[in-house]
């Protein structure tokens, strides 16, 4: 089973995506923010990280720390931005706009 780490400040989004992706056969771990993910899963090796880019607590230093911990796995920026903001393009491999319809995200994950 492939594992996914999903980081989003919104509890409802974490719950929704965890349910949807679990039903699709993925094991999904969630965190409210990068700091929580760093402290909670030191020995965790996800196959994919999905990160909400609109976070008040999102700082370049914490992002770099998480990226350093997981340098060789794909990252999906997942947010309400219409397009991936320029400052995040260096951090994420893919970008998907948030939607209540998750088929596009599931298809992207499946292709990875």
Query: Can you give the pTM of this predicted structure?
Result: 0.84
Split at pLDDT 50, 70, 90, the class of 18 is very high
- More reliable by pLDDT, 78 or 88: 78
Sorted by where each begins, the domain ranges of the chain are: 3-111
User: Which one of 1.20.990.10, 3.60.130.10, 3.30.70.100, 3.40.50.2300 gives the CATH number of domain 3-111?
Assistant: 3.40.50.2300
Per-residue model confidence (pLDDT) at position 15: 92
Chain segment 70-85, per-residue pLDDT in tens: 788 898 888 878 787 7
> What average pLDDT is seen over the chain?
82
Short-list 78, 75, 109, 105, CA closest to 92: 75
Name which residue leads in pLDDT, 61 or 3.
3
CA nearest 30: which of 52, 54, 8, 57? 8
């Amino acid at each position: 089973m492939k594992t996914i780490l999903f980081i989003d400040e919104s509890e409802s989004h974490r719950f929704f995506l965890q349910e949807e992706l679990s039903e699709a056969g993925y094991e999904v771990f969630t965190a409210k923010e990068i700091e929580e993910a760093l402290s909670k899963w030191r020995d965790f090796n996800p196959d994919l990280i999905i990160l909400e880019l609109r976070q008040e607590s999102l700082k370049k230093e914490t992002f770099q720390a998480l990226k350093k911990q997981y340098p060789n796995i794909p990252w999906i920026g997942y947010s309400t931005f219409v397009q991936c903001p320029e400052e995040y393009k260096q951090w994420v491999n893919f970008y998907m706009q948030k939607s209540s319809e998750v088929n596009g995200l599931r298809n992207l994950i499946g292709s990875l």
